[in-house]
Homo-oligomer: A and B are copies of this chain.
Amino acid sequence: MNIGILGTGMVGQTLGTKLAELGHSVKMGSRSASNEKAQTWAKATGSNASVGTFADAAKHGEILFNCTGGMVSLEALKAAGEENLDGKTLIDVSNALDFSKGFPPTLSVCNDDSIGEQIQRAFPKAKVVKTLNTVNCQLMVNPSIVPGEHDLFVSGNDADAKAQVTTILKDWFGWKNVIDMGDITTARGTEQLLPIWVRLMSLFKSPQFNFHIAKA
């Protein structure tokens, strides 16, 4: 499958590498087609990997991953071009962590809104599915790093897109437990897991942990 990755950071690179290893054609997009990090990644990853602008990556992908920082996601997606998002499943992995006042970061959007909702409102024809934002990127593609039961959440308005993403999470990445939280407004809840996540990471001195919802 052709997949577009928006963003060249650790999250985009880790997802892109895994997807290329699985045999998919992955184009990583950024502001400039000559982005050095993206080019280094593509060389290291091999023939399934290529680079381009945000628009190139979005045009290439049948499915798109938003791996840009939540504070710049709308801008990156505008650069990708609405026409290249329309009708596509857009997996939003972002968190709007604002470190401008140091640690702990605050969320630039929360409580009565979320980045997932902002993206869905800005691009109403894209099928936004919020997921993977509550775990470290190594864990995203290799959940067995953390033993035992633990959960991933999906939020989105389009049932078919959520089913498609759930299949990707389970069959491609190895997730066992995926909880369908409901429509895209439920992304408020999962994005607001980040404030405790960053504190737990400090406490454990490791990002290799995850939430499990234990039920009666």
Contact = CB atoms under 8 A, between A and B. Distances in A.
Copies in the complex: 2
A156 to B, nearest CB: 14
Contacts of A197: 189
Contacts of A215: 146, 204, 206, 208-209
A214 B111 contact: no
Size band of the interface chain A makes with B = 35 or more
Interface string A100-122: 00001011001110000000000
Nearest to A190: B196
B147 A188 contact: no
Contacts of A111: 106-107, 110-111, 195
Interface in A76-125: 104, 106-107, 110-112
A203 to B, nearest CB: 7
Contacts of A153: 196
B211 A213 contact: yes
The 5 closest A-B pairs by CB, nearest first: A189-B196, A208-B216, A150-B214, A212-B212, A189-B195
